[in-house]
Copies of this chain bind each other. A is one copy, B any other.
């Protein structure tokens, strides 16, 4: 088991803290959590989606979070009686159990002896880990962790209670709100792709905007968010961005929008609030997407979207030989 180690807790204590109704022996100890299929004695699991009913019946988890209506059916396991925690939204209760059993390590501020912090930086109650570099005049809020090997440029502002994982790059002038989480390898504030044709080839256009990131934002591993060309690139409150996402200069992402892995958003695109972009979706530059739009995975958005709803544009996959026929027919249709 490669898993992070849980802090054991009694079923009764969990029921109380997560606001569940206990049915069964509250003195059973929960050692860890597991999916229904792989749970063993001592594990807690949950059942909410009826397509997993069979797995729930067969699960050897000692404790299950279930809806009240499922309690009778699931009160015993192949190993005997089972402790149930009743909750109207088992997956939500389960998420809270995770926070109980896997509490964050207690925060302790301080600057590692081998970190490199500019004398003009303001570090108040933050933790700066090994080999991190913090530039001139930058501010890091209290309760924030800057992990090992991070580079923070000059004039950066990072709020309180953020967690910046190892090896993140934050360029000059970038601003982050509170409670942000940045996964390893993310690059915030690289130069945008600003080019101008000239007789000598492409000329670089200086990128003098910054990146301004709201509160409660999460940014995935190896994701890149470019600084603005003149104005800033802006990421709203509560935006969640997965791994390997590219966000070009001057993009504006509305509050609470979620962006799945491998998405690319070209420069100056404006995306509304509460949107969801599926994996590997691509958004062209200089267009806008209104609030509450869902873009299916793999879809290229080549024109603005002004009506909420779901949009898709993916060639349906088939067995390869069938595909060659379809492709040939499509090609001919342009003749």
Q: List the interface of chain A (C-beta within 8 A of B).
A: 1-6, 33-35, 38, 91-92, 95, 98-99, 101-102, 114, 116, 129-131, 133, 147-149, 151, 153, 155, 157, 165-167, 169, 171-175, 181, 183-185, 187, 190-191, 193, 195-196, 198, 200-206, 208-212, 216, 218, 220-224, 226, 228, 230-232, 237-238, 240, 242-244, 246, 248, 255-256, 258, 260-262, 264, 266, 279-280, 282, 284, 294-302, 309-320, 322-327, 329-331, 333-335
**In the bound complex, how far is the Cα of B333 from the Cα of A313, in angstroms?**
14
Of residues A295, A302, A330, A333, which shows the largest number of chain B Cβ atoms within 10 Å of its Cβ?
Answer: A330
**CB-CB under 8 A for A331 and B318, given A130-B116, A297-B282:** yes
Complex interface: chain B residues within 8 A of A222 (CB): 185, 187, 222-224, 244
Complex A-B, nearest 4 residue pairs according to Cβ-Cβ distance, in ascending order: A313-B317, A2-B210, A322-B334, A151-B166
**CB-CB under 8 A for A313 and B316, given A35-B231, A210-B2, A216-B201:** yes
Q: Is the beta-carbon distance between B279 and A262 smaller than 8 angstroms?
A: no
Complex interface: chain B residues within 8 A of A171 (CB): 184
Q: Is the beta-carbon distance between B282 and A282 smaller than 8 angstroms?
A: no
Q: Is the beta-carbon distance between B318 and A3 smaller than 8 angstroms?
A: no
The DSSP consensus for interface residues of chain A is loop
**In the bound complex, how far is the Cα of B34 from the Cα of A209, in angstroms?**
9
Q: Is the beta-carbon distance between B316 and A312 smaller than 8 angstroms?
A: no
Kindly provide the distance from the CB of A289 to the nearest chain B CB, expressed in whole angstroms. 11
Complex interface: chain B residues within 8 A of A99 (CB): 206
Q: Is the beta-carbon distance between B190 and A204 smaller than 8 angstroms?
A: no
Q: Is the beta-carbon distance between B240 and A193 smaller than 8 angstroms?
A: yes
Complex interface: chain B residues within 8 A of A262 (CB): 246, 262, 264, 282
Kindly provide the distance from the CB of A93 to the nearest chain B CB, expressed in whole angstroms. 11
Kindly provide the distance from the CB of A110 to the nearest chain B CB, expressed in whole angstroms. 15
Kindly provide the distance from the CB of A200 to the nearest chain B CB, expressed in whole angstroms. 8
**In the bound complex, how far is the Cα of B325 from the Cα of A221, in angstroms?**
37
Partner of A209, one of B2, B184, B310: B2
Kindly provide the distance from the CB of A111 to the nearest chain B CB, expressed in whole angstroms. 14
| 20 additional contacts (CB under 8 A) given A244-B244, A261-B264, A311-B323 | A2-B157, A92-B196, A95-B196, A95-B205, A153-B166, A202-B240, A224-B243, A246-B261, A248-B261, A266-B297, A279-B284, A284-B297, A297-B300, A310-B319, A312-B318, A312-B319, A312-B323, A313-B315, A313-B323, A326-B334
